[in-house]
Structure 1
């Protein structure tokens, strides 16, 4: 096991009691400066410095009425979505380190009936952005837009799922293959170049209410339910002459084998995919590599631990930055924290005073309410 060291912490000047929802790399107008973005429960979108974590710009104090999603994969833009049924693209390259929101909102995509959006994905190769909605009037929608044609909806699927769409992800090498997951228990793979909704489905995986799902490789996907049950499934070959699909690998409930209380998310970089799992009682977060050789499994010998993590508060977001060899985490304590290995830690540590007192005891009633919310999509 390898312990990472905390190098910086910042509240991003957020109001007290704010949760950090997601962290993504942000485009930068300054050479050499690495910037990152965070969305939070006050509905703001903020840019912070990747080294000191000091806030640089409040892109918007009110991105949405109930922001839910942040995506940084589209060239030059950050994308956000919310419960107001809108997707917004933000050109943050014009922002300054003055704290002023000198940022241009380029495009807004909207859904009929303002169906709340719960999931978001972008594909830079095809300039495509996809949103998945909550179930409204017995209909859950997966909507697809080309960001170069904001006035048109490229594609819309309304029969793919019959409950909230909680996950969307593009195939790592095939920009026309999209994965979606839902609280209806299904993970679907489909070809978005096929316009007929009845013909678009390539594979259906029945797992359980989906918290997260995604591609582990070009030919394997994972599914994680809201009760922390995990499985890995081979992608079927439509050209295969046999109708038998390879059996999935069932890991069951991860909480006992991983010694965790909850799973945050998976993380992918050039070295592979990792799973971030938290234990609030023991005040830690573990990042475990997922390996494929000799078979799909967790590499328990190469765990990276964030000791202390966010105290007894739940970690909501984790982001790996390969260039700076830094792990960023965001939690229900309202803080973003940076972590690095001993070999990469210098003398630039910046720890903002933590007014929340993450090591202090929290009431049992507050913890119980949080635990109840934990297994529901937000």
Structure 2
């Protein structure tokens, strides 16, 4: 059944809105492609605070606690902001990576902040502890062979982290391990990663730039024999979910997907406790956001106190109201301390050899196959270096971090 959302206004941010997060006490935080961050108080569209945050596109913003958030940018810096500061700046910490490598992915949990870079020579995954920011808590350089497009901390296992990359792999790490090679618990060979996150019951999902979707099992690190079970592979989900692209999956259980040609955005609801994505279609319950952001890509969505906020490449944050059942607030984690914790952290962790997909023929580690052109050239759907001032017919600028040519 379709429920139609009603537009309740919009805020012009004057450049692509790349990422959103919400802080109950302060409003909606939006990271923009011009290096600014807008903080939009809930319930009003007139005045908002504009922060000159970075010297390049702000590729991600994530909530740190009720008063602060972090941001990462093409300028190669990760910053932490506290919105209680009375002065205009609010920046309480700035962490630099290496060689000005653009940061394209970000997450925060408890005292940790993790960020992944683009590939230039190497790609780097940094983890900082906010209690001691002078040096990174961890720095991984061998983990991926391409841009690191996703970083997520596990919601209940303090020392578990995943990263995903355009190299086709999702890696799961144990942050207690001293050395990088010992930290790698699991390697999932998938496809160029648009997003990935932990689900309850020892699962994680992966969504590719080619709109393929899979659910994988975390290996049990408590036994000597670590056997990976086969993933539930849904293949290309555009037909099933009647869309041209998936924005992302959001806790407590929403899939946001869009179609530029029909100017549509849909929200499907799902139960993260059950891996039951097969049943989702336009026959199931969904919320439609008519008109969406026109024929521009929608980059992110937040639900706060029943109100839907969407941000897009048209430079707008749009506000939507839905009648009927109250929608749950979106957050970055699909389960909290209660669900799915199963006291895993009480087990003794034996160091595991990382699991790689090895080709029996040549003994080489396999990289996932991407779409190949007739000449054998690789053609994933994302534009890698996209100049947003030349508006594009190619709809997949959303996927890749914004970059100036």
Instruction: Name the count of aligned residue pairs.
Output: 336
Q: Offset of 1:2 from its aligned partner? A: 3.1
Determine if the alignment matches structure 1 residue 371 to structure 2 residue 395: yes
- Describe the shift of the 1:278–1:205 C-alpha distance in structure 2 as closer, same or farther (beyond 3 A): same
Determine if the alignment matches structure 1 residue 24 to structure 2 residue 21: yes
Q: In structure 2, the residue corresponding to 1:72 is in which secondary structure?
A: strand
* Cα shift readout 1:14-52 (whole Å, capped 9, x = no counterpart): 33xx21111111363xxxxx5111111221111112112
What does residue range 303-322 of structure 1 map to in structure 2 within 5 Å? 303-321=286-304
Report if aligned partners of 2:241, 2:280 keep a CA contact under 8 Å in 1.
Answer: no
- Describe the shift of the 1:164–1:342 C-alpha distance in structure 2 as closer, same or farther (beyond 3 A): same
Report if aligned partners of 2:200, 2:273 keep a CA contact under 8 Å in 1.
Answer: no
What does residue range 112-123 of structure 1 map to in structure 2 within 5 Å? 112-123=98-109
Q: Offset of 1:327 from its aligned partner? A: 1.2
Aligned to 2:260: 280
Q: Offset of 1:146 from its aligned partner? A: 1.0
Q: Aligned partners of 2:177, 2:399: CA distance in 1, in Å?
A: 34
Q: Aligned partners of 2:157, 2:273: CA distance in 1, in Å?
A: 23
- Describe the shift of the 1:250–1:190 C-alpha distance in structure 2 as closer, same or farther (beyond 3 A): same
Q: In structure 2, the residue corresponding to 1:94 is in which secondary structure?
A: coil
Aligned to 1:196: 179
Q: In structure 2, the residue corresponding to 1:112 is in which secondary structure?
A: coil
Aligned to 1:73: 64
Aligned to 1:302: 285
TM-score (norm 2): 0.78
Q: Aligned partners of 2:135, 2:205: CA distance in 1, in Å?
A: 32
Q: Aligned partners of 2:66, 2:177: CA distance in 1, in Å?
A: 25
Q: In structure 2, the residue corresponding to 1:198 is in which secondary structure?
A: helix
Aligned to 2:370: none
* Cα shift readout 1:231-275 (whole Å, capped 9, x = no counterpart): 000111122465542211111111111110111111113xxx221
Q: Offset of 1:289 from its aligned partner? A: 2.4
RMSD (Å), alpha carbons: 2.2
Determine if the alignment matches structure 1 residue 334 to structure 2 residue 315: yes
Q: Aligned partners of 1:81, 1:304: CA distance in 2, in Å?
A: 31
Report if aligned partners of 2:10, 2:319 keep a CA contact under 8 Å in 1.
Answer: no
Report if aligned partners of 1:135, 1:162 keep a CA contact under 8 Å in 2.
Answer: yes
Q: Offset of 1:375 from its aligned partner? A: 4.7
Report if aligned partners of 1:20, 1:336 keep a CA contact under 8 Å in 2.
Answer: yes
Aligned to 1:172: 155
Q: Aligned partners of 1:377, 1:184: CA distance in 2, in Å?
A: 15
- Describe the shift of the 1:134–1:310 C-alpha distance in structure 2 as closer, same or farther (beyond 3 A): same
Determine if the alignment matches structure 1 residue 129 to structure 2 residue 113: yes
Q: In structure 2, the residue corresponding to 1:313 is in which secondary structure?
A: coil
Q: Offset of 1:199 from its aligned partner? A: 0.7
Q: Aligned partners of 2:194, 2:270: CA distance in 1, in Å?
A: 18
From the two aligned structures, give the one with the greater strand fraction.
1
Q: Aligned partners of 1:295, 1:45: CA distance in 2, in Å?
A: 36
Report if aligned partners of 2:269, 2:286 keep a CA contact under 8 Å in 1.
Answer: yes
Q: In structure 2, the residue corresponding to 1:199 is in which secondary structure?
A: helix
Q: Offset of 1:377 from its aligned partner? A: 4.4
Unaligned runs of 5+ in 2: 327-389
Report if aligned partners of 2:54, 2:75 keep a CA contact under 8 Å in 1.
Answer: no
Q: Aligned partners of 1:104, 1:332: CA distance in 2, in Å?
A: 26
Unaligned runs of 5+ in 1: 29-33, 96-100, 346-364
Report if aligned partners of 1:274, 1:289 keep a CA contact under 8 Å in 2.
Answer: yes
Report if aligned partners of 2:147, 2:166 keep a CA contact under 8 Å in 1.
Answer: yes
Aligned to 2:206: 223
